[in-house]
């Protein structure tokens, strides 16, 4: 019997529609699995959006991505979904990298990887052709991850450089000390809020989707995306200059306080408008887009076999995604017993007598520290404050290397600069430390500090993470510490810090590395952490 062409076409269409429903159902189940398995990671992203204006644009990324997929639906619905078995290995890699990011305590790494799991599941369940058709909306999800704060110090420097250059070109006298700018009518500081990071990230996200929607040629899209990154950086420098210039010409009556904030948001709107105005001049004509062609129907298609393969893939993919979180949970349970601190700071060091300070004009802020105390050492002619911060266990958000931690705590302290120093101890040895100057209400403090992980001296946050991760993977509890020494600076007190460090460095290290309680090493040790009498 000859098959009627119309009947064959309808049969193929029905087969495609049924297959699409099966695959979309499996996709929905897998996406829900991702949200459950990495719930804490996604929750941390939303909390960051709520907490920081810098990442407020994160709320619109998922709706924009979903809208772009919905726009393409009339085209992509004709694509026959096909399982992509190598996607299982991709999901396994995602889960493994998430575990490593968790071990390192890199929150943004966990967020990036958890977000990347969504495109990986699309690829695995829907296949290469389907995923390629919606590659941009899937990749666009990356803008939901709150990253980019590491650019802030560089952006602050760029803003200060640009503002100072324009002030001098326009004849406004300016004196610069790091990020502090002084003009005849007042003083300004290029703070973190002045870096423009919130405008830059939002503009980049909008510019990227604008380029995708309005351009067809790849090179034009890349040029416009680069333009959407460079424009707000330059505009922010002009904004900083404008604020200072208005304050100068108005004798500090305008462009400060609320005016400063309003001026910033108005300027941001102008930048967005300018970006779109320039972009509109080069918009491509919207050619007829035939969309992706349908994948030929496999004559051997079997509904039962398709369901069986989908169920198998969904099961294996779900297990692959859970390996990282399960391994992390098992390791955390193994190390649930906190390490016990047996010692604090030495009570006396080579002519310096220590006493715990109940109150101080500065106090470090380290989130979730197990032990935190400030000791003042009095010498014959000087005094030095020493802060000891220790972590017995590492948990996300409660760790030594955390961007929210501060060596001087209060935001009233304004950091001037930070640099690395090599200090000679006097016996031929050299140690590396960090130096920071900070100012509050005219009071200047000089801080020298370094970190220790399991007795190893460190000045790099990345090295802290790597050493903590190594201890964690080896199944050992990791003790991490920050040691901060500080003096009120009058221009000559750097020698006081040098003398104290040469006298006290070894004594402090011996107290911290000792497992058993040591005599005269109990300053700043919390009573709950010291239940054994020192030898």
In-domain check, residue 293: no
- Please tell me whether residues 142 and 156 are part of one structural domain: no
Residue bearing the bigger pLDDT, 74 or 295: 74
- Please tell me whether residues 140 and 158 are part of one structural domain: no
- For the chain, the average pLDDT equals 79
**Domains: count for the chain:** 3
**What percentage of the chain has pLDDT greater than the value 90?**
15
Per-residue model confidence (pLDDT) at position 459? 79
The pLDDT tens digits for 350-398 are 888 888 877 777 888 887 777 788 888 888 778 888 888 887 765 555 6
Per-residue model confidence (pLDDT) at position 472? 65
Q: In the predicted model, what is the mean pLDDT of residues 224-233?
A: 92
SS (H, E, C) 56-79: CCHHHHHHHHHHHHHHHHHHHCCC
- Please tell me whether residues 271 and 198 are part of one structural domain: yes
Residue bearing the bigger pLDDT, 27 or 336: 27
- Asked if the model's pLDDT at residue 135 lies above 80, the reply is yes
Residue 272 in tokens: 């967005």
- Please tell me whether residues 225 and 266 are part of one structural domain: yes
Q: In the predicted model, what is the mean pLDDT of residues 183-190?
A: 82
Per-residue model confidence (pLDDT) at position 224? 93
Per-residue model confidence (pLDDT) at position 492? 67
Per-residue model confidence (pLDDT) at position 340? 56
- Please tell me whether residues 158 and 136 are part of one structural domain: no
520: left (phi over 0), alpha (psi -120 to 50) or beta: left
CA 148: distance to chain centroid? Answer: 7
Per-residue model confidence (pLDDT) at position 265? 67
Residue 436 neighbours by CB under 8 Å, 6+ apart: 407, 408, 415, 416, 417, 418, 446, 447, 449
The pLDDT tens digits for 122-133 are 999 988 888 899
The one-character DSSP state at 43 is: H
- Asked if the model's pLDDT at residue 193 lies above 90, the reply is no
- Please tell me whether residues 170 and 127 are part of one structural domain: no
Which range has highest mean pLDDT (85-99, 284-298, 359-373, 435-449)?
85-99
Closest CA relative to residue 441, chosen from 486, 417, 418, 411: 411
Alpha carbon distance 287, 445 (integer Å): 64
Residue bearing the bigger pLDDT, 213 or 522: 213
- Please tell me whether residues 352 and 494 are part of one structural domain: yes
Question: Concatenated DSSP letters for 199-246?
Answer: HHHHHHHHHHHHHHHH--SHHHHHHHHHHHHHHHHHHHHHHHHHHHHH
In-domain check, residue 292: no
The pLDDT tens digits for 281-327 are 888 776 444 455 444 444 444 555 567 777 788 888 888 888 888 88
Per-residue model confidence (pLDDT) at position 258? 46
149: left (phi over 0), alpha (psi -120 to 50) or beta: alpha
Residue bearing the bigger pLDDT, 231 or 80: 231
Per-residue model confidence (pLDDT) at position 480? 79
- Please tell me whether residues 498 and 452 are part of one structural domain: yes
What values do phi and psi take at 406, rounded to 5?
A: -140, 135
Residue bearing the bigger pLDDT, 106 or 118: 118
- Asked if the model's pLDDT at residue 209 lies above 90, the reply is yes
**Pairing between strand 175-177 and 480-488?**
unpaired
Residue 461 in tokens: 């946050």
Name residue, tokens 């005219």: 442
**What percentage of the chain has pLDDT greater than the value 70?**
81
Q: In the predicted model, what is the mean pLDDT of residues 40-52?
A: 90
- Asked if the model's pLDDT at residue 143 lies above 60, the reply is yes
Residue 346 in tokens: 């030495």
In-domain check, residue 114: yes
Confidence of residue 34 (pLDDT cuts 50, 70, 90): very high
Cα–Cα distances (Å) from 47 to 41, 217, 465, in that order, read 10, 37, 23
Per-residue model confidence (pLDDT) at position 530? 42
In-domain check, residue 51: yes
Residue 529: CB atoms within 10 Å: 17
In-domain check, residue 462: yes
Query: The domain spanning residue 513 has which CATH number?
Result: 3.40.1000
- Please tell me whether residues 156 and 30 are part of one structural domain: no
The one-character DSSP state at 493 is: T
Residue bearing the bigger pLDDT, 81 or 121: 121
- Please tell me whether residues 467 and 376 are part of one structural domain: yes
Residue 292 in tokens: 């992706």
- Please tell me whether residues 488 and 363 are part of one structural domain: yes
Confidence of residue 341 (pLDDT cuts 50, 70, 90): low
Confidence of residue 108 (pLDDT cuts 50, 70, 90): confident
The pLDDT tens digits for 247-270 are 888 877 766 654 555 556 677 788
Q: In the predicted model, what is the mean pLDDT of residues 85-94?
A: 90
Q: In the predicted model, what is the mean pLDDT of residues 482-510?
A: 82
Per-residue model confidence (pLDDT) at position 222? 92
Say which range, 126-140, 177-191, 473-487, has the weakest mean pLDDT.
473-487
Q: In the predicted model, what is the mean pLDDT of residues 390-412?
A: 70
Domain holding 478, by residue range, is 348-529
In-domain check, residue 247: yes
- Asked if the model's pLDDT at residue 534 lies above 50, the reply is no
Q: In the predicted model, what is the mean pLDDT of residues 53-70?
A: 90
In-domain check, residue 343: no
In-domain check, residue 286: no
- Please tell me whether residues 65 and 190 are part of one structural domain: no
């Amino acid at each position: 019997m000859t098959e009627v062409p119309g009947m064959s076409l309808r049969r193929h269409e029905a087969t495609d529609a049924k297959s699409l429903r099966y695959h979309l159902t499996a996709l929905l189940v897998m996406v829900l699995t991702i949200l459950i398995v990495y719930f804490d990671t996604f929750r941390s992203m939303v909390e960051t959006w709520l907490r920081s204006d810098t990442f407020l644009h994160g709320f619109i990324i998922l709706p924009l991505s979903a809208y772009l997929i919905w726009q393409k639906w009339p085209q992509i619905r004709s694509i026959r979904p096909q399982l992509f078995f190598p996607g299982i290995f991709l999901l396994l890699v995602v889960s493994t990298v998430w575990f490593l990011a968790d071990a390192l305590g890199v929150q943004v790494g966990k967020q990036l990887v958890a977000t990347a799991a969504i495109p990986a599941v699309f690829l695995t369940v829907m296949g290469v052709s389907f995923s390629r058709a919606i590659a941009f909306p899937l990749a666009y999800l990356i803008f939901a991850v709150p990253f980019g704060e590491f650019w802030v110090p560089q952006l602050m420097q760029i803003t200060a450089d640009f503002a100072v250059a324009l002030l001098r070109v326009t004849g406004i006298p300016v004196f610069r000390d790091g990020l502090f700018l002084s003009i005849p009518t007042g003083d300004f500081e290029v703070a973190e809020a002045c870096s423009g990071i919130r405008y830059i990230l939002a503009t980049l996200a909008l510019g990227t989707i604008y380029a995708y929607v309005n351009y067809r040629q790849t090179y034009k899209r890349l040029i416009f995306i680069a333009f959407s990154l460079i424009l707000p950086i330059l505009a922010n420098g002009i904004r900083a200059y404008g604020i200072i210039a208005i304050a100068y010409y108005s004798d500090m009556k305008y462009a400060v306080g609320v005016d400063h904030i309003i001026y910033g948001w108005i300027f941001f709107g102008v930048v967005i408008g300018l970006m779109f105005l320039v972009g509109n001049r080069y918009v491509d004509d919207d050619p007829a887009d035939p969309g992706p062609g349908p994948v030929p129907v496999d004559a051997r298609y079997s509904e039962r076999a398709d369901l069986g393969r989908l169920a198998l893939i969904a099961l294996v993919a779900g297990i692959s995604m859970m390996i990282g979180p399960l391994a992390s949970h098992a390791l955390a349970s193994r190390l649930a017993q906190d390490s016990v601190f047996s010692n604090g700071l030495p009570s006396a060091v080579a002519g310096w007598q220590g006493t715990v300070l109940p109150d101080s004009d500065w106090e470090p802020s380290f989130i979730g520290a197990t032990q935190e105390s400030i000791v003042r050492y009095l010498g014959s002619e000087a005094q030095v404050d020493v802060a000891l911060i220790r972590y017995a266990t590492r948990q996300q958000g409660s760790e030594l290397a955390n961007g929210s931690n501060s060596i001087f705590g209060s935001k009233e302290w304004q950091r001037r600069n930070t640099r690395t120093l090599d200090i000679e101890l006097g016996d031929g040895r050299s140690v590396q430390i960090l130096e920071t100057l900070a100012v509050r209400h005219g009071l200047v403090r000089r801080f020298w500090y370094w970190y220790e992980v399991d007795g190893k001296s460190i000045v790099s946050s990345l090295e802290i993470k790597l050493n903590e991760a190594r201890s964690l993977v080896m199944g050992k509890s990791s003790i991490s510490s920050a040691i901060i020494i500080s003096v009120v600076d009058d221009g000559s007190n750097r020698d006081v810090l040098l003398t104290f460090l040469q006298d006290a460095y070894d004594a402090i290290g011996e107290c911290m590395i000792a497992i058993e309680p040591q005599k005269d090493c109990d300053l700043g040790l919390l009573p709950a952490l010291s239940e054994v009498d020192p030898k």
